[in-house]
Amino acid sequence: MSERIFLSRPDITELEEQAVLAAVRSGWAAPAGPEIDAFEQEMAERIGVSYAVALSSGTAALHLGLLTLGVKPGDIVVTSTMTFAATANAITYTRATPYFVDSDPVTGNMDPQLLHEALSELTEQGTPAAAVVPVDLLGKTADYTQLEPICEEFDVPILADAAESLGATHNGRPAGSFGKAAVLSFNGNKIMTTSGGGMLLTDEGDFAQHVRYLSTQARQPVVHYEHTDIGYNYRMSNVLAALGRAQLSRLDEMIERRRCWRDRYRDFVAEIPGVDIFGGTDEEDNCWLTSIIIDPSTSNLSADTLQAGLQDANIESRPLWKPMHLQPVFSGQPGKITGASQRQFESGLTLPSGSEMSESQFELITNALSRIVEQFGL
């Protein structure tokens, strides 16, 4: 059997190898150093924000972003139910309660109408939301054109979870530039990686400074290490920042490659009745992952059978994120649920989309898909 084809593997070239080697040899093998400063500056420029703080993970960036917004135990933080658990986990680290808002039926992103209802009800109940954390699903930004005025109306700050959308835009504005602050992830499967890492982006100097302070154990600026707050060890390593800079220099080419797979999957599924590319139009997406959605009324082909068939061909695929309101660990949490995300979870399947994937691997995938759908007479 041929080598396993993964959903999205790190795309590492000699450029990255050289950058890491140089950083190690420079002596700055620490969570401080010139690569971190340069990485922050280059990313801030790319996104068009004033400040960037490099951290050990996207989850850490969410956590410190929430703390810096002043989120405290007992608060309610509204977020998308269709997300990776990290978003909801970070909310619980602050001992706030996550409140889950269901998906737009097409994009899977937070449904603005439902957000409006949620914020109205929470305000009426005397428990206004402390923050809203919209998630940019699979490389498409949330609909900030609608979300921003709603949050303004209720005077609730936005912390944008842009972990999946680096390189995407919304009405021409880069992902990561929305909200009071935004969060990126450089985990191994993301569109670019530092093997593990994250970043907080903001236009506010005080905000960035507070995140930086909390990320380095909240030390007061005196020689004897005075502490007046609980801090965290969340800073990015200088060696990993070097890896990040090399990846950032290749980001556009990696996005192009993923977009190419998206276009070809789109052509491929156009021939299959009842199967579509998930998410609607994609001109502004970074095409991080390509998912298909299967209309359950047109055939008895299901996402599960397709997943199992691909697995037999040693090809990785996986459902969309299982919504947070369906997760045992978050059961009983409040929310505005319509069932849209559950339908997407049950009928969606994410296909290998990595920028490191080869032409021959892509052909193996489409051949396997053809064989499976033929069995269903499609």
Q: Rule CB under 6 A: which residues touch ligand PLP?
A: 57-59, 83-84, 86-87, 135, 161, 163-164, 185, 187, 198
Return d(Cα 104, Cα 18) in angstroms, integer: 43
Which two structure tokens, joined as six digits, stand for 218? 């909240």
- Closer CB to ligand PLP, 185 or 344, in the complex: 185
Nearest to 66 by CA among 103, 92, 84: 92
Q: How many CB atoms lie within 10 A of CB 376?
A: 15
Which two structure tokens, joined as six digits, stand for 345? 């979870």
Q: How many CB atoms lie within 10 A of CB 310?
A: 21
Residues 6+ apart with CB under 8 A from 188: 9, 10, 195, 196
- Closer CB to ligand PLP, 89 or 302, in the complex: 89
Return d(Cα 347, Cα 301) in angstroms, integer: 10
Greatest CA separation for the chain = 73
- Closer CB to ligand PLP, 186 or 268, in the complex: 186
Least separation in angstroms between CB 304 and ligand PLP: 23
Least separation in angstroms between CB 196 and ligand PLP: 6
Least separation in angstroms between CB 122 and ligand PLP: 23
Least separation in angstroms between CB 103 and ligand PLP: 13
Least separation in angstroms between CB 140 and ligand PLP: 12
The residue number whose beta carbon is nearest to ligand PLP equals 58
Strands (E), 110-224: 131-133, 159-161, 169-170, 173-174, 181-185, 198-202
Whether the CA torsion 149, 152, 154, 157 is positive or negative: it is positive
- Closer CB to ligand PLP, 89 or 123, in the complex: 89
- Closer CB to ligand PLP, 190 or 262, in the complex: 190
Least separation in angstroms between CB 184 and ligand PLP: 8
Strands (E), 186-278: 198-202, 275-277
- Closer CB to ligand PLP, 161 or 282, in the complex: 161
Least separation in angstroms between CB 57 and ligand PLP: 3
- Closer CB to ligand PLP, 16 or 164, in the complex: 164
